[in-house]
């Protein structure tokens, strides 16, 4: 009984969002509410697709997520490896430095970063947003990959080192290929967080580089609030993150418990 | 794994430093520099709307003014109400859910993964969905409450007294599942022996919950408290989407107010000072959180 109540509480808003996306306006706001019997339509999706901005928002979200993810992996994976394998106290301690960095309030970073980017004339482009996303993502990747490499067997790497390979070689040709599941999980996590980010995109993008969450807001602030279109666009916005999160499960939750929830 | 040799704390391996260096340089350039700049600028009056872009040195005035600024004081009070409300309810509800959904059956696993959905959604979308559920004209919630004889006036987000509880409920909806999952991990790691001993002694389930489960879960409870408090101080998207800080300043939390001061009114020096205050609060919580986390595992 309690289980059903709990499931209803957590699932009904999601159900409402999903159905509203397929409702005509008259059914979306019918009083009393129509939960099950309504005229099913793809009109909202058609409308947002024909609104020339939506494909643009999607493309921007893809560019930013891909850019931030690639940059984070490039910087974070080697760093995680170095921290996991090094015997140096300083290098090991840097892991905690990255963990602290993850927990910084985004606004505290955003305000000075905005000024710096303004002076460099980088506001409104993709670069500023990608870089700021990547700071948080890369710190997370370094931390994740550190624990991944710590748990990975090191016999093969040690054998290579004994044979005279450098640690760089051991990383590139042995450790890295064997750690692809960990790298993939980190990548998906980065994608979710860039995809869902709103605050950074709000301040750093121009109309040309707006991402999906800003698109949703835009459909909102126009003269007439179109909840159906809002729901349809939200549905598109949540789908990738939803699929990935259900896939990742454990890693996804680990990311959230690292304190980096930017919500 | 401790090394057999006693090494200097300044010892670093060249190769590993090389692998770490790109990220360190990136962080230093992109994060540390702005944070230092923010510290510096917080001692100045610096408005982007000023045509001359003048920076006037004020000393500590920005920090001192903050505590006399009525909106800031309100925002800090709202932040504490928000954090206290969300964290306490999420803690109790999350533990309850964890006990409810701790079964090992396949059905339980499926239901648990359904409960992950709220936290995977962008908080902005969550805020908007609830805003429409709360809408006084066509929203589902006021409609059913009216059926029950409760009239909400201007709706949950329109009434000054109701707005903060309504926003707290949104946060509870999105983040209680996270608390549940942390508790599930905590419950899983509990030893079985005390329960068996208690059963032999004829203790009721209620007694063994209060006398065994709760005390053993203390570290997990501490982790949830610190983590959710820290995250509570950072709430932004939900407020932006659902209320914009209103009505009046009823739901203006510190984080949202900093955004308004800096990014709407462009008072950068003042915003930086406020952001630094928030940064210090969160940093203290973060350090505590990391210490507890470290003691818990490894």
Q: With b meaning 16 or more CB within 10 Å and e meaning fewer, what string describes B222-247?
A: bbbbbbbbbbbbbbbbbbbbbbebeb
Is residue A263 over pLDDT 50? no
Cβ–Cβ below 8 Å for B263 and A111: yes
H-helix segments, A86-198:
89-102, 106-119, 126-151, 155-162, 167-169, 176-178, 180-196
pLDDT bucket at A14, cuts 50 / 70 / 90: very high
User: Model ipTM?
Assistant: 0.88
Residue B38: inside a domain, yes or no?
no
| Predicted pLDDT of residue A164 | 87
Is residue B13 over pLDDT 70? yes
Cβ–Cβ below 8 Å for B137 and A14: no
C-alpha distance from A105 to closest chain B C-alpha (Å): 6
Is residue B87 over pLDDT 90? yes
Is residue B96 over pLDDT 80? yes
Q: What does residue A124 show for φ and ψ, rounded to 5 degrees?
A: 90, -15
A184 vs A225, residue with greater confidence? A184
Give the separation between CA A74 and CA B19, rounded to whole angstroms: 10
A263 closest CB neighbour out of B15, B41, B174: B174
Among B48, B234, B257, B264, pick the best mutation site for testing chain A contact (most A Cβ within 10 A): B234
At B135-191, the pLDDT tens digits run 888 888 888 888 888 887 888 888 899 999 999 999 999 999 999 989 998 898 888
> Tokens 């057999």 belong to which residue?
B4
Residue B61: inside a domain, yes or no?
no
Cβ–Cβ below 8 Å for A14 and B271: no
Domain count, chain B: 1
Cβ–Cβ below 8 Å for B12 and A2: no
Three state DSSP letters for A18-62: HHHCCCCHHHHCCCCCCCCCCCCCCHHHHHHHHCCHHHHHHHHHH
CB distance A110 to B268 below 8 Å: no
CB distance B148 to B69 below 8 Å: no
| Predicted pLDDT of residue A54 | 87
As a whole number, the mean pLDDT across chain A is 87
B278 closest CB neighbour out of A79, A105, A198: A105
B173 closest CB neighbour out of A13, A88, A166: A13
Is residue A250 over pLDDT 90? no
As a whole number, the mean pLDDT across chain B is 89
Is residue B130 over pLDDT 90? yes
Residue B40: inside a domain, yes or no?
no
pLDDT bucket at A82, cuts 50 / 70 / 90: very high
Q: With b meaning 16 or more CB within 10 Å and e meaning fewer, what string describes A92-108?
A: bebbeebbbbbbbbbbb
Of the given ranges (A170-179, A181-190, A222-231), which has the lowest mean pLDDT?
A222-231
Q: Which of residues 170 through 199 in chain B touch A, CB cutoff 8 A?
A: 173-178, 181-182
Residue A263 forms contact with B (CB below 8 Å): yes
Range of the domain at B191: 74-296
pLDDT bucket at A221, cuts 50 / 70 / 90: low
Residues in chain A with CB shorter than 8 Å from the CB of B114 are: 7, 10-11
Is residue A259 over pLDDT 70? no
CB pairs under 8 A between A and B: 279
Could you report how far apart the first and last alpha carbons of chain A are, in Å?
A: 31
C-alpha distance from B278 to closest chain A C-alpha (Å): 8
Residue A249 forms contact with B (CB below 8 Å): yes
**β-strand partners of B215:** none
Is residue B291 over pLDDT 80? yes
Residue B116 forms contact with A (CB below 8 Å): yes
* Mean pLDDT, residues B248-271 taken together: 93
CB distance B230 to B289 below 8 Å: yes
Is residue A219 over pLDDT 80? no
Among B3, B120, B143, pick the best mutation site for testing chain A contact (most A Cβ within 10 A): B120
> Tokens 């429409």 belong to which residue?
B132
State the DSSP H helix or E strand holding residue A71, giving kind and residue range, or none if neither: helix A53-85
CB distance A6 to B179 below 8 Å: no
| Predicted pLDDT of residue B297 | 60
Give the separation between CA A209 and CA B50, rounded to whole angstroms: 27
Residue B2: inside a domain, yes or no?
no
Question: CB within 8 A of B166, min separation 6: which ones?
Answer: B130, B134, B156, B157, B242
C-alpha distance from B185 to closest chain A C-alpha (Å): 11
| Predicted pLDDT of residue A32 | 77
Is residue A63 over pLDDT 70? yes
Residue A9 forms contact with B (CB below 8 Å): yes
Residue B7: inside a domain, yes or no?
no
| Predicted pLDDT of residue A58 | 92
Question: What is the pTM for the complete model shown?
Answer: 0.90
| Predicted pLDDT of residue A53 | 85
CATH node for A12-32+46-260: 1.10.3720.10
- Residue B135 is part of a domain; what is its CATH number? 1.10.3720.10
How do the domains of chain A map onto residue ranges? Answer: 12-32+46-260
């Amino acid at each position: 009984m309690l289980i059903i109540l709990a499931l209803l509480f957590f699932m009904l808003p999601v159900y409402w969002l999903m159905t509203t996306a397929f409702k005509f306006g008259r059914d979306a706001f019918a009083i009393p509410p129509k939960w099950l019997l309504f005229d099913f339509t793809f009109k909202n999706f058609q409308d947002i697709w024909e609104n020339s901005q939506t494909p643009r928002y999607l493309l921007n979200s893809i560019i930013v997520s891909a850019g931030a993810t690639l940059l984070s992996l490039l910087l974070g994976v080697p760093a995680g490896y170095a921290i996991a394998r090094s015997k140096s106290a300083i290098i090991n301690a840097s892991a905690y430095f990255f963990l602290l960095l993850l927990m910084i309030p985004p606004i505290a970073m955003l305000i000075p970063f905005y000024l710096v980017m303004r002076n460099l004339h980088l506001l409104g482009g993709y670069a500023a947003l990608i870089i700021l996303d990547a700071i948080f993502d890369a710190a997370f990747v370094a931390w994740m990959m550190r624990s991944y490499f710590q748990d990975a067997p090191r016999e093969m790497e040690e054998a290579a080192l004994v044979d005279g390979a450098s640690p760089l070689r051991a990383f590139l040709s042995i450790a890295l290929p064997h750690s692809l599941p960990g790298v993939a999980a980190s990548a998906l996590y980065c994608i979710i967080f860039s995809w869902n980010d709103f605050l950074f995109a709000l301040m750093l993008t121009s109309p040309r580089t707006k991402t999906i969450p800003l698109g949703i807001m835009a459909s909102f602030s126009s003269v007439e609030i179109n909840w159906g279109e809002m729901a349809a666009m939200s549905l598109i916005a949540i789908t990738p993150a939803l699929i990935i999160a259900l896939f990742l499960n454990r890693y996804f939750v680990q990311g959230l418990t690292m304190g980096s929830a930017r919500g | 794994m401790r090394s057999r040799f006693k090494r200097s704390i300044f010892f670093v391996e060249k190769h590993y430093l090389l692998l770490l260096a790109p990220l360190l340089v990136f962080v230093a350039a992109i994060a540390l520099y702005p944070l230092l700049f923010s510290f510096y600028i917080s001692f100045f009056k610096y408005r982007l709307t000023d045509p001359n872009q003048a920076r006037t040195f004020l000393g500590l005035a920005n920090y001192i003014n903050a505590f006399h600024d009525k909106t800031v004081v309100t925002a800090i009070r709202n932040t504490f109400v928000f954090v206290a409300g969300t964290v306490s309810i999420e803690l109790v509800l999350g533990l309850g859910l964890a006990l409810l959904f701790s079964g090992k059956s396949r059905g339980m696993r499926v239901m648990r993964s359904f409960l992950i959905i709220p936290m995977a959604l962008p908080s902005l979308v969550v805020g908007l969905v609830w805003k429409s559920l709360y809408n006084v004209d066509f929203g589902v919630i006021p409609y059913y409450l009216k059926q029950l004889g409760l009239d909400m006036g201007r709706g949950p987000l329109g009434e000054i007294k109701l707005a903060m509880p309504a926003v707290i409920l949104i946060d509870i909806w999105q983040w209680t599942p996270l608390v549940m999952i942390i508790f599930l991990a905590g419950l899983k790691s509990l030893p079985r022996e005390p329960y068996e001993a208690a059963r032999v002694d004829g203790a009721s389930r209620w007694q063994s919950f209060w006398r065994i489960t709760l005390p053993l879960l203390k570290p997990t409870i501490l982790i949830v408290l610190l983590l959710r408090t820290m995250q509570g101080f950072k709430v932004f998207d939900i407020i932006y989407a659902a209320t914009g800080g209103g009505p009046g300043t009823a739901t203006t939390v510190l984080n949202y107010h900093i955004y308004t001061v800096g990014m709407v009114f462009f008072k950068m020096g003042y915003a930086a000072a406020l952001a630094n205050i928030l940064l210090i609060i969160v940093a203290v919580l973060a350090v505590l959180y990391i210490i507890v986390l470290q003691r818990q595992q490894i």
